[in-house]
Amino acid sequence: MILIIGFGAHKATKGFGIAGPLTGLVKKPRIRFLILAGLIGGGPTFIGTVLGSLWTPTITSVFFLSIAGGH
């Protein structure tokens, strides 16, 4: 559980890297653009979390956590 929380906290900070360049824009970005950037940045993590909570055989859990650990 601690490992999962750690990975979640690590991945949550990646949003700053996505949103950071938006501060240099001359005009404000449209809400549609912000939603799209949010989906691109956080969508895969959200989908992976949902799928992982629905289907978690032990071998699959160990496999994907070992891949994430190597990331």
Residues 6+ apart with CB under 8 A from 18: 37, 40, 41
Identify the band that residue 71 occupies on the pLDDT scale cut at 50, 70 and 90: low
- 3-22 pLDDT tens trace: 777 877 777 777 777 777 77
Domain ranges of the chain: 2-70
Terminal Cα-to-Cα distance of the chain (whole angstroms): 18
Look at residue 43 and tell me whether its pLDDT is greater than 80.
yes
The pLDDT score that the predictor gives to residue 35 is 85
Choice between 22 and 58, residue whose per-residue pLDDT is larger: 58
How far lies 64's CA from each of 24, 28, 71, in Å?
A: 37, 39, 11
pLDDT for the residue numbered 26: 66
pTM of this structure: 0.44
What pLDDT sits at residue 70?
A: 75
